Amino acid sequence: MEAIKENVKDFVSVNINDEIRKIVEEILKEKGNEYINAISTNGQHKVKFTLWKDGTTKYTEYSNFRVEDEQSKYKLKVSGYSGTAGESLVNVLSARKANEQKFSTYDQDNDGISDYNCAMENKGGWWYNACFYASLNNMENNRINWYKDMGYNIKKSMVMVTRK
């Protein structure tokens, strides 16, 4: 009887957690930028990007972080860089910087290239300008990019937004 109770408990725990994870993923898929806007415009915030590649962990932090509202097409605003992973959002060629860019998706082409949709080509939304310098949502061949100091094909990434 105890073994059955444990199996039921494990089954319920795993399936409930999977269901909650699926619900959260769907909400974020549909409303992700709305939530990021709500968080980042409610006081002052910073953002930290942690990146893993080839057994190395590096980070980039911006002491000022904000994502504008839907009317502004969720424009990204970051400043105050520090870290070890390189500065791939602001201090790059102006045609490649993500800072001050509007968010692009397959059906909202807001990147800096008039006859090309970076989000469609890379199979993931981002604050694209010229597609390749920084992109944590590039689903084309599961390729995460952080050009400065990390390059292409980053294994995984984590983004944390915190209040200052």
Q: Per-block average pLDDT, block size 10, for the chain (164 residues)?
A: 40 49 56 83 91 92 95 95 90 73 88 84 83 73 75 83 89
Rounded to two decimals, what is the model's pTM? 0.76
* Residue boundaries of the structural domains of the chain: 38-163
Provide the strand spans (E) within the chain.
45-53, 56-67, 76-83, 134-135, 144-146, 151-154, 156-163
Amino acid identity, position 160: M
**Topology, domain 38-163:** Gamma Fibrinogen; Chain A, domain 1 (3.90.215)
- Amino acid 58: pLDDT: 93
